[in-house]
Amino acid sequence: MDFALTEDQQMIQDMARNFALKEIAPFIEQDEENHFYRREILTKLGDLGLLGWSIPEEYGGNGMGWMEAVLALYEISKVHTSWRLSVSGNCWGPAMTINQYGTEEQKQKYIPGLVAGTSVGSFAITEANTGSDVASMKTFAEDKGDHWLINGSKMWISGGHTCDIGLLYAVTDKGAGAKGISCFIIDYNNTSGVTRIPIHSKVGMWPAPTSELVFENAVVPKENLLGPLNKGFQICMWMLNNTRMGCATGSAALSAACLEGSVQYANERTQFGKPIGKYQMIQAQLAEMKLEDEAAKYLVYHAAWLKDNNLPSQQATSMAKLYGCMAAVHGANMAMKIYGSYGYSTEYPCGRWLRDAKQFETLEGTSNIHMQIISGIELGYQPNR
C-alpha cells in the first residue's frame, strides 16, 4: 500500500479544505449557538462533486473512490465535524445502497438528486428500544396488496426532519427476527402519515439535525421496496459497513483538529516567561495526541484502500471507527487540559470538540459492538465481509 497522494487526490483535498474554510468555518459559532442547519451547504457540496463518491457516473457520480472521499471528508470534518453527516446521509447511505440493491428505475429516480445535493438523504434504523440489537426493531410494514402500510417509530435519526429521501428498515415478517426485516425508500415530501419531530436536547453536534420519526398508517408504494423482501438486515449491515467510514473519517479529523489547535495554543500561551510548549509535560501530552492522530488517520486510509480494491473491509472499518473515536475523545480531553481554564470557556472550541467527540462512541455501532466485530472476525467466529 502506497498512501502517497496523487496530483488529483491533492487537488480534491485542497478543494475540500478551501470549501470548508470559506463556507463553513465563518459560521461555526453562529450555527452552534442557534443549532442551525444550513441546507445550502449540501447543495454546494454537490455542485463541487463532493457527494458522488463510488457512484457510477451515469447516475451523477464523480468517478472517484473511497480514498478520494475520505481525503475530502477529512478536511471538511476537521473544520466542523457536524457536516460529515451530509456525506453519509446522502452518498454512503441511500445513494450507494440504492445503487447496490435498487432497480434501474429506483437508481435513475433517486441517486442523481442525492449526489447533486438537491435532495437530502437519511436512513432510519434505531428505535427507542432498539439500538445495537437491530433485529429487535418493531416498526412494521404490512403488505396491503397494492401498497405497504407502515406503523411504528424511529429515534435518533440524523437528518430525519430535514431530508427528502430516506431508507427505512422495518419488520415485514413478525417473529422472524433478522430474517423478517426489509428496506424501503421513503419519499418524505409525498408520504402521508409521517410525523417528523426535531430532537434539540443533544449534548453536541448541534448544527446536525436529529429527529424522531413516527409512522401512523403511512402508505408506501409497492415499488419502493429496496432489494429482496425480508433481506433488509443484510442490506442494513452492508450499508453500515459504508456509512461507518463517515464516522471513522470524522473522528480522525476531529482528533486532528484537537491536535492542531493545541499545538497553536501551546506556542502562543506563555507562562513563567516562555511558551507552554517548551515544558515537558505539555510536550508529552502533544506527543500522545500526535501518535493517536496518525494511527487513526492511517487506519482510515487502510480501510479506504481495501474498499477501493474490493477486498474484505468490515474488520478494518470497525478498527478505524473504534480507534478514531478513542483518539477524538482523548484528544479533546487533552486539548481542554492544555488550554487550561480557557479550555472550559466558550471562547475556544475545546468544549465543542469534547461534546462532538463523545457521540462517536455510540453512533452507528457502540464501541462495544465494534470490539465484538473486530474480535469476532479475528477469532474466526464471523466472516470479514
The set of catalytic residues is 364
Whole-angstrom Cα distance, residue 98 to residue 2? 31
Residue 68 φ/ψ, nearest 5 degrees: -65, -35
Contact (CB, 8 A) for 171 and 212: no
Whole-angstrom Cα distance, residue 180 to residue 162? 29
Q: What is the dihedral of CA 157, 160, 164, 170, to 10 degrees?
A: 50
Q: Exposure string (b/e) for 102-115, b if CB count within 10 Å is 16 or more?
A: beeebbebbbbbbb
Half-sphere exposure of residue 135: CA atoms within 13 angstroms, side-chain side? 10
Instruction: Read off the C-alpha cell for 351.
Output: 468544549
- Checking DSSP bridges between strand 165-171 and strand 181-187, what pairing results, if any? antiparallel
- At 353, the amino acid letter reads W
Whole-angstrom Cα distance, residue 173 to residue 135? 11
Residues with Cβ within 8 Å of residue 58, at least 6 apart in sequence: none
Whole-angstrom Cα distance, residue 305 to residue 292? 20
